[in-house]
Structure 1
Amino acid sequence: MLNDGSQVLLSVEAEAYLEALEKFTVKDVGNISWTRQHEHIEKLNMQAAISASAHEDEFVKESLISLGKIPVLIHDLLVTEVWKEKVFPELLEMEFNPKTTFPLYMVLYHEATVANLLETVMFHCEVCESADDAILDLVDYCNRKLVYLVTQTAESDDEADITEEVVTSATSASTMEELERLSKKLDFDISIKALSLLRYVTDHFDVLPLSIMTRILNTHDIPIILVELVQNPPWTRRKEGQLYKYIENKWQQVSNEDRFKVTKIEGQIWIALFHLLMEQNCQQKYDLNSHRKNTLLKLRSHLTEVMLDQLPILAEMQRYLEQLSMVEPPPFKKDLVLEQVPEIRDGILRQFDGRWSKLAKHQAKTTFNPTDDMIKEQAKRFVDTYNFDILEGLLTDPPKCAVCGEPASKRCSRCQNEWYCRRECQVNHWKRHKKACDLLFESEKNSKQAADKSSQPTS
C-alpha cells in the first residue's frame, strides 16, 4: 500500500524489512520465506529509486549502511545468479510444466531487482565501504557480466536482437519457453547494471582494500575488457541501415545527428577507464606489457573532438595515450601483496557440489508446484508487491502493447496490468492472458473487500 504519492515505504518500514534481511541457500530459492524477502527487496528497490530520483532523504541507503546489510544483498545476488546458472537450465531440460510461472518469474526477476538496488545505492562512497570483504565477490560478479557482454557482441544477430518480441511481465510469461527468453533479456539488462556497479567501485578505490585494485587490473584485466566493449559495443545495432542504441532498458532508433551523442552506458565505460588508467595508484599496480599497451592505444581513435566536448576529462587520457605510444612500457615491479580471495560464490557452489539436477527435481515437485490455494495467495502478493500505479509513475515512456509492442493507450479493465494498442490485439491475447487476469482480478477484489471491512466502524 502506498503511504503517499511519492513513497512505497515509510522509513520505519524500510528499516524493519532490512533488519529482517537474511542469507538463503540455493535450496531456499522460491520458497515462502525467500518469496517474502523478495517482496521486501522489490519494495526497497522501488523506494530507493524514488528517493534518489527525487533527491529526497535516502533512508533505504542509510539503513543498509547502519544495519550492515550490503554484504547480505551481495550474497543474495550471487545465490540467485547460481540458481539461474545451475538449476533453471535443469528445469528447462526436464520439460517442467508448472501450473503457474509466477514463482519462477519472481526468481528470474530477483537478480535484476537486487542488482538495480545495489546500482542505486553504491553511487555513494560509504555504501561501497560498508560492503567489506563482499566487495571482492561483487567485483568478480561484475567481471563475469562484462565477459558476457563481450560474448554477446561476438554472437549477436543484430536484427533479431532489436525486433524479437520478448516477454516483459509475469502475466505474459505463461510458458517455460517464454521464461527462457525473458531470462536472456534480463541477463543483458543485468550486465549493463554490473557495468555501472564496476564504475562505482573504481570511483571509490581510496576507501577499498588494495587487493580490489589488483584484482580488477591484473587478475581480471578489466581495462582490456572495457576496450573491447568500446571497440564492439553490444548496445549498438543496425537494422535496415538505421542505427539503434540500447537506452533506458530498450532499443531506440538514433537519428544521424545524434549518433555520436554519448549514452549513459558509454559514459560509464569511459569514466571507469579514466580511473583505471589515470589514477596514480592504478598506473603503479597495472602490469602494462606490450600486448596491453597496444590494446589500450586503440582508444585513441575514439577520443574525437565530439567525444572530448561531451567528456572534457578525457583530454587528459588522450595526452597519456599519446605519450604511451612513444615509449616502451616500464618493467613491472611486483610488490608482495597478500591478495584476498572472494569466498561467497565458492561457498554457495560447495553446498551442492554438482547435485543440481537432484535439486531441480526436488524444487519442481515442491517449491514450483503450488496448490490452487497457494497460486491464489501468490497472485494476491503479486498485486501487492508490484503496485502497478507506482510502477507506472516511474515509467518515462508510454506503455507498449503486450502483443505488437506499439505505443498503447488501452488497458485491461479487469486486472489493470496489460496494455494494448487496439482491440484486435487485446482479443488475440485474451486466451493467453485470461488465467493470469482472473487471478489478479480476484485477488484485487478480495483485497478491496478486506480493506472496506476493516474501514467500517464497529458497533
Structure 2
Amino acid sequence: MAAESEFVLLPSEAESYVENLQCFEIKEIGSSRWMVQHEHIEKLHMQAVVSASRNEDEFVKEFLISHQKVTTLVWELLTIELWKSHVFTRLMKMSVDHEPEQTFPCYVVLYHEVTLAGLLEIVLYHQAACEVADDVMLDVADFCCRKITFLISKQAKGVNLYEETELDAVTGTSATGRQELKRQYKQIQFQVTVKAVSILKYIIDHLNSLPLSIMTHLLNKNDMICCFVELIENPPWTARKKDGHSVKFINGKWQKIEDGELMKLTKLEGQVWLSLFCLLMNPDCQRKYEFNSHNKTVVLKIRGRLLEVIVDQLPCLNDLQRYLEHLAFMEPPAVKKEVVLEQVPEMRERLLTDHKDKWRAIAELHATTILFPSRDDVQRYAQSLASTYSLDILEKYVCDSPKCALCGQEASKRCSRCQNEWYCGRECQVKHWTKHKIACNMMTDMK
C-alpha cells in the first residue's frame, strides 16, 4: 500500500466522492454545484490513473461499480457531448461580434469530456464495470462509434490532424479568445476520439456478456469493421511534418518517429488491429455481420497491410490472415435473419427529446456564465482549477514533458505564483504575462 502522501485521494475520500456523484441537466453545466462535481471527477480520474500506473488496488473502480455510478459517468459524458454540439456551436456564433476575454471557463467545460472519457477508459477495461452498466453500454458504444466516424470523415477531407492539433497550439499563442477556443475544441475532439478507440476495444472484448443489440449496432448499423479497416489504411495518428520527419500520437502526445520505426505498432494501433481481429474472428459476429460486395472488398484491402513485421508483433493476426485468404475465394454465408426486439440508445434519445427547442435558451444562459463570465464566476472557476491541479504526485505519471505556454517548446520553468503555467525561459514568461496575469492573480488569491 502506498504511503498516505502518495494518494491523490484517500479511499475514504474517493468513496465519498463516488457516493455523491449525480446526474446534472445540461442547463446546469458550469454552475457552482456542477463545478464541485467536476473537481471531484477530475480527482477520481487522477487517482484511478495513479492506481493503474502503480498496479495497486483500484479502489476508485471498485467504488464506481459497487455504488453503481458508472451509469452516472455515462450520463455526464453524453450531456457534455450534446452541450458541445448544440450549445458550444451557438456560443461560438455569439463570440463573432464580441470576443471573450477569458477562455478557461469554457475550456473547463470542454475538457470535462476528456476527463470522463479517461475515467471510463480505465473503469470499462474490467468486465464487471461493463456488466453493471448493462443498460447504457449501447449508449457508450454508439458514442465511441460517433467519435471514430467523425475522425474518419476529417481524414477523408484531407485534414492533417498533426497540424490541426499540434502546430496550431504554437502558432495560436497570439490568437484571439474565439480562435483559442476553436483550437482547444479541435484538440479535445482528437483526445476524446483516441480514448474512444480504447473504450470500444474493451466493449468488444466483453461482447459475449453484453446485450446482443450492441453487437448488432457495431456490425451492421455502424459497420465498425469497415471503420477499423479505414483506420488501418489511413491512420489519423500518423503524420509527416513539413520537414519530412514522421510523427505518431503516442501516450497523449505527438512524437517524432524514425523511418525505420514506422512499422512498430503503438498501443493505439495495436488496439485497432485487435478490435478488427475480434469482430472478424468471433463466431457470433461472423453469423451476424451482413457481408456484401462492398464491405467484402473493403475488408480484403487489409491483406496488403498484414506484413510479416506486423504479424510478428501480434501473432494472433496469423489466424486473421488465413481467414482473409479463405474469404477472398468464396462467398461468405448468408446472414440468418432473426426476428428480435432491438434495443436503442435510450439515454441520448431521452436527452435530445427533453431538450428539443431549448438549445437556444440554454446557450443564452451559458453565454453569461461560461462564455462571458462575471468576475465572481471567473474566481469560482479559478478556485476549482487551483484546488484540483495543485497535486505534485501526478507529475510522476504524466508522460508529457511540460510545454512553454507561449512558444510550445519543452519547458523547465514554472510560474512561481500560481504554479500552473510553464515556460522555456524568462523571455517567453514576460511576453505571456499580459495574457496570463488575470488568471494568475485569481488563482493565487484562491490558494
Which bin holds the TM-score, normalised by the shorter protein? over 0.9
Q: What displacement does 1:183 show?
A: 1.0
Q: Counterpart amino acid of 1:191?
A: T
**1:307-326 alignment runs, 5 A limit:** 307-326=310-329
Q: Counterpart amino acid of 1:213? A: M
Structure-2 separation of matches of 1:159 and 1:312: 30
Partner of 2:254: 251
Determine helix, strand or coil for the equivalent of 1:133: helix
Contact 1:174 1:432 (8 Å CA) reproduced: no
Counterpart of 2:125 (choices 103, 123, 134) is 123
Match of 2:187 in 1: 185
CA contact (8 A) 1:172 1:432 kept: no
Cα offset for 1:173? Answer: 9.5
Whether the 8 Å contact between 1:224 and 1:292 is mirrored in structure 2 is: yes
Q: 1:23 to 1:173 in 2, by over 3 A?
A: farther
Q: Which one-letter code corresponds to 2:38 in the other structure?
A: H
1 CA distance for matches of 2:315 and 2:147?
Answer: 28
Equivalent residue, structure 1, for 2:379: 376
**d(CA) in 1 for partners of 2:427 and 2:438?**
19
Paired AA for residue 378 in structure 2:
I
Correspondence 1:226-375 to 2 at 5 A? 226-239=228-241, 240-366=243-369, 369-375=372-378
Q: Deviations over 1:88-124 (max 9, x none)?
A: 1111101154553332121100000000000011111
The letter for the 2-side match of 1:215 is H
Instruction: Return the alpha-carbon distance in structure 2 between the equivalents of residues 194 and 159 of structure 1.
Output: 18
How far did residue 129 of structure 1 move? 0.8
Task: Map 1:36-185; keep pairs closer than 5 Å.
Answer: 36-95=36-95, 97-98=99-100, 100-155=102-157, 156-157=159-160, 160-161=163-164, 164-166=167-169, 175-185=177-187
Q: Is the 8 A contact 1:162 1:251 kept in 2?
A: no
Contact kept, 8 Å, 1:6 with 1:50, in 2: the verdict is no
Q: Which amino acid aligns with 1:52?
A: A
* TM-score where L is the length of structure 2: 0.94
Deviation at 1:396, TM superposition (A): 2.5
Structure 2: which 5+ runs fail to align? none
Which sits farther off after the overlay, 43-52 or 348-357? 348-357
Retained in 1: the 8 A contact 2:8–2:391?
no
Deviates more, 1:248-257 or 1:92-101: 92-101
Q: Which amino acid aligns with 2:334?
A: P
Superposed CA deviations along residues 222-280 of structure 1, whole A, max 9, x for unmatched, are: 10111111111111111232111111222111012211000111111011111100011
Instruction: State whether structure 2 residue 436 is matched by structure 1 residue 433.
Output: yes
Contact 1:303 1:318 in 2 (8 A): yes
Quick one: structure 1 residues 172 and 189, their matched pair in 2 at CA, closer, same or farther if it must change by over 3 Å?
A: farther
The aligned residue for residue 216 of structure 2 is 214
Conserved? CA contact 1:158–1:238, under 8 Å = no
Matched residues in 1 for 2:378 and 2:286: separation? 56
**Segment of structure 1 superposing worse, 408-417 or 36-45:** 408-417
TM-aligned CA deviation for residue 344 of structure 1: 0.8
- The percent of aligned pairs where both chains have the same amino acid is 49
Q: Which deviates more from structure 2 when the two are superposed, residues 289-298 or residues 259-268?
A: 289-298
TM-score (norm. length: structure 1): 0.91
The answer to whether residue 388 in structure 2 is matched with residue 390 in structure 1 is: no
Alpha carbons of 1:45 and 1:258: their partners in 2 closer, same or farther (altered >3 Å)?
A: same
- Letter of the structure 2 residue corresponding to residue 188 of structure 1: F
Aligned residues: 441
Distance in 2 (CA, whole Å) between partners of 1:300 and 1:257 is 22
